[in-house]
Structure 1
Amino acid sequence: MRKCENITVPQSTIFTWRLGVKSSPEKPRWIIVGFQTEKDNNQLKNPAIFDNVNVSNMHVTLNETRYPAIDYNISFIKQQLSRVYGDPAAFRSKFFHMDELVSNPNITASDNKDLYPLFVFDVSKQSERLKTSVTDIKVKVHFNVNEPADTQAFALVISDKMLSFHQTERR
């Protein structure tokens, strides 16, 4: 199951976004976050391109369990982007069950920084307690500078939907 949400980002250096509450049949496995500035209803800008918006750190919490456990420590200016570049590659490999060499889209680190700076969170390894309860999802972002006006955040939540089948008696 996939669900995309978006919100206008306030002009601030810290942004907390509560994505929502997932009921127990839906367990989040991946959360992908991206930002776009001044692209909503603008035919002159390509909506397939995302903006790096000077993020310095970001994490997701599922019922107070933090992903990733350690800070990103990103600097787009200093080219410190290895996790921003590596996490989407790991996602492609794990999600499609393919070797990274086969699933590699040949996007350079520079293209990733300038065109596709997507933040991918693997939340698939959850404690048993989270797997049987309602899941509260929050995204917390730190920016180096206040965000420009008209910046939108997008979050795609990819979940497993647990289905149960009950066998009925035949008469």
Structure 2
Amino acid sequence: MLRSRIDLNCYRNTTTGGTKIAVLDIDKIEWHVPHISVNDEIRLKLLKTLNSNKSICIPFRKWELFELPSLRKTKTDVCPIKTSTNLEKPRYVIVAFQTARKDSVTADASTFDHASITNLKLHLNADSFPYDNMNFQINENKYAAAYRMYASFQSIYYNKSDQPLLSYEKFKECALYVIDCANQKEEVKSSIVDVKLER
């Protein structure tokens, strides 16, 4: 669970003056983990696999949050995000921008700014995702590619075909840029992956 270090970023105060401070305490967290039961035939096959001492690859999901304090006042910028192992290289990267919302009681921290982004590119060592420039012009309502990447994330990642939470019009007010880098060359050898974001 990712949560802000202080309570001011977890709620919005809409009272007149906006001076009241609230304290949020989490008393209980329930973790629902799906359990799979197999019939006896499959159970025997699984026990044989376990007894053979073969390594079993278990996929996992891990969410990480990286925060950059500010963007440079240049047209393009390359931000180093992290260095990870080949096993933990990212499959999806979600990028969001905010201005003047941190540690403010009256600001809505659940909305994001499009920041007039014209292009986003993720670099994993020598590979770039997406390969071509995106050429967004959100102020001129030319952001169909950004919305398509956002809308397809829910159906791919969660295996749901429902409508995305943000409509095309609402996306302009609360832009979430999703970069799909799941189709990567798989390497058997362990290596280091350098993750950089170019805007």
Unaligned runs of 5+ in 1: 142-171
* Aligned CA distance change for structure 1 residues 106 and 138 (closer, same or farther; 3 Å): closer
Question: SS at 1:13's partner residue?
Answer: coil
Deviations 1:45-88 (A, max 9, x none): 10000001111111001012000011111001211110111111
1:24 pairs with 62, 76, 86, which one? 86
- The superposition leaves residues 66-125 of structure 1 with CA deviations (integer Å, 9 ceiling, x where unpaired) of 0001111100121111011111111100001122xx2x135221110112x111111111
Q: Could you say which residue in structure 2 is the equivalent of 1:82?
A: 144
Question: Identity across aligned pairs (percent)?
Answer: 23
Greater share of strand: 1
Q: For the Cα contact (< 8 Å) 1:20–1:136, is it kept in 2?
A: yes
Distance 1:126 1:74, change over 3 A: same
Runs ≥4 residues deviating over 6 A? none
Contact 1:63 1:130 in 2 (8 A): no
Please say if residues 27 and 131 of structure 1, whose CA atoms lie closer than 8 Å, have aligned partners that are also in contact.
Answer: no
In structure 2, do the counterparts of structure 1 residues 17 and 135 end up closer, same or farther at CA, with 3 Å as the change threshold? Answer: same
Deviations along 1:12-66, whole A, 9 cap, x unmatched?
2222111111113313110010100111112221000000111111100101200
* Distance (whole Å) between structure 1 residues aligned to residue 156 and residue 189 of structure 2: 20
Q: Which has the higher helix share?
A: 2
2:168 to 109, 115, 127: 109
Q: Indicate if the aligned counterparts of 1:29 and 1:124 stay in contact, CA closer than 8 A.
A: yes
Does structure 1 residue 51 correspond to structure 2 residue 110?
A: no
Name which structure has the greater RCO, CA cutoff 8 Å, separation 6+. 1
Please tell me whether Structure 1 or Structure 2 has the larger radius of gyration of its CA atoms. 2
Cα pair distance change 1:15/1:90, threshold 3 Å = same
TM-score, normalising length: structure 2: 0.65
Q: How many residue pairs align between the two structures?
A: 137
Instruction: Give the equivalent residue in structure 1 for 2:125.
Output: 63
- RMSD of aligned residue pairs (Cα, Å): 1.6
